[in-house]
Amino acid sequence: MANKKIALVTGGNKGIGFEIVRGLLHAGCRVYLGAREAAKGQQAAAELAAGGEVRFLAVDLANQATLDAAAAHLQREEGRLDILVNNAGINVPGDGVPSQADVRSVAQVLQTNFVGTLAVTQTFLPLVKQAAAGRIVNVSSPLGSLTIVGQNDWALLGYSASKAALNMLTVQLAYELRETAIKVNSAAPGYTATDLNGFAGTDTPAQGAAEAIRLALLPPDGPTGTMSSADGLLPW
């Protein structure tokens, strides 16, 4: 029990997050499945229970009180957090090209995907620092790469900007923690069929989860401050 790695996956009740939880359970971790809605989180945890030790934890990126309560619970129960996977995120109607994107929609996406993730990271970082070699994985996207977006006709300003900001969090936090054993990386799932894109993606959630799982389980000589997909490193 004491040797198990302790993981928290936000947005773990569906899609890529659900499969990240499944993969970490398969790797022998004890996983806290973070979700905003208790009923959905508990149901997801029950579905995954046969695969290992999984526990629901209320985590709402827009509600600091839930983050503080979740961190306090982990401190009492575990005393550390080996793996934090920042997976939770949204995409909302009204996002689009810069000349037409609804400003309120863009602000909502940025508030959740970036500011909310920053709040989660700051809240749980003290627990990650108590682990022997913590891992923080930010689930990003190729849409967060300035290089890739500049070469493609992808027009979701708010979503792209939120993932680019998330990548900046990865780079700066990795540098801030460079003298520690903690590694911080961005995982790009690829075009995965989830409710974010109306299930139009070409990859399965399990395929989309693979890189985040790999980065969560990096060995001591693994990289930090990178963005990668299953095909390798991606440009910023």
Residue 37 included in any domain: yes
Q: pTM for the complete prediction?
A: 0.95
CA distance 120 to 9: 11
Domain with 111 in it: 6-233
Q: Which residue is catalytic, options 32, 159, 175, 191?
A: 159
Domain of residue 49, CATH code: 3.40.50.720
Q: Is 175 a catalytic residue?
A: no
pLDDT tens figures, 39-82: 999 999 999 999 999 999 999 999 999 999 999 999 999 999 99
d(CA 53, CA 126): 23
| pLDDT, tens digit, 9 for 90 and up, residues 157-192 | 999 999 999 999 999 999 999 999 999 999 999 766
Residue 13 maps to a domain: yes
User: Residue 1 domain-assigned?
Assistant: no
Q: What domain count does the chain have? A: 1
Nearest-CA neighbor of 157 among 198, 194, 107?
Answer: 107
Give the C-alpha distances (Å, rounded to integers) separating 4 from 50, 101, 118, 191: 17, 45, 26, 32
Tens of pLDDT, residues 102-143: 999 999 999 999 999 999 999 999 999 999 999 999 999 999
